[in-house]
Amino acid sequence: MCNAFENNLVIKEEIKIIQNIIKDELWYEGERRHCFIDPNDQQVQSKVLIIVKNNGDKITNKAIKSIQNKRGILINTKEQSFFNDCPFFIALQLDIKFFH
């Protein structure tokens, strides 16, 4: 099982990835509507939620690979049961509403 240090590194890296997703979705929505979009916009939050929910494993794997490339730390990717739910909890921490 991954230790607490590795868990923390992965969560921090996942936050960066999700923040980029939010930034991209704000830009896309702004282009679509031709105006500034508030980060609390319901449509953007819903879209980010769907992306995070449908791509949680990819986000986690990208975070792990990024850590391994940057820091040379080997993370046991065979036992990722803890990490599989991390993007969901990160999205909650970013105040994305899951239920309308």
Asked if the structure places residue 100 within a domain, the reply is no
Asked if the structure places residue 98 within a domain, the reply is no
CA 66 to CA 56: how far, in whole Å? Answer: 15
pLDDT of residue 70: 79
Which residue shows structure tokens 């490339």? Answer: 69
Give 3-state DSSP helix, strand, coil % of the chain, rounded to 5: 70, 0, 30
DSSP 51: H
Q: What is the pLDDT of residues 8-66, one digit of tens each?
A: 788 888 989 999 999 999 999 999 999 999 988 999 999 998 999 899 889 988 988 88
Band of pLDDT at residue 87, cut at 50, 70 and 90? low
Asked if the structure places residue 47 within a domain, the reply is yes
What is the domain count for the chain? 1
pLDDT of residue 88: 54
CA 75 to CA 7: how far, in whole Å? Answer: 9
Asked if the structure places residue 23 within a domain, the reply is yes
CA 69 to CA 72: how far, in whole Å? Answer: 6
